[in-house]
Amino acid sequence: QVELVESGGGSVQAGGSLRLSCSASRHSYSAHFMAWFRRAPGKELEGVAVADSAGSTWYTDSTEGRFTVSRDTAKNTLYLQMSGLKPEDTAMYYCAARTAFLPVDARFLDNFYDHWGQGTQVTVSA
């Protein structure tokens, strides 16, 4: 079993920045896709950003241009650099991983991911 552990969440003011990290507990684990999802209070889980093992990345409209996802495959770690944070970015952020290939239209669908972290809270105040 692979455990994903997120870190880096916290409280910031609007316009601020945070960097989230997600490490896989098993160094031999190789995920084809790793992704960030978030759940805001009272809302459904939402995809944020995806990175594949080759370094290609995808973003949802709400975060593109402000967030940057990256992977360090040697460290088996996924990052999310968040800038220009807005109060509506307040949410629990989750890291997810999938071993097998995913078509583009499935990469932001949470039910296709095999492993999940426990989440890290991000709170943005106005």
Mean pLDDT, residues 39-53 taken together: 95
Give Cα separations from 3 to 37, 105, 106 (angstroms): 16, 26, 22
Residue identified by tokens 């992704």 is 35
* pLDDT for 52: 92
pLDDT at 75 over 80: yes
* pLDDT for 28: 58
pLDDT at 42 over 90: yes
Pair of tokens at residue 90: 């307040």
Q: How far apart are CA 21 and CA 9, in angstroms?
A: 9
pLDDT at 6 over 80: yes
pLDDT in tens, 87-102: 999 999 999 999 888 8
* pLDDT for 74: 83
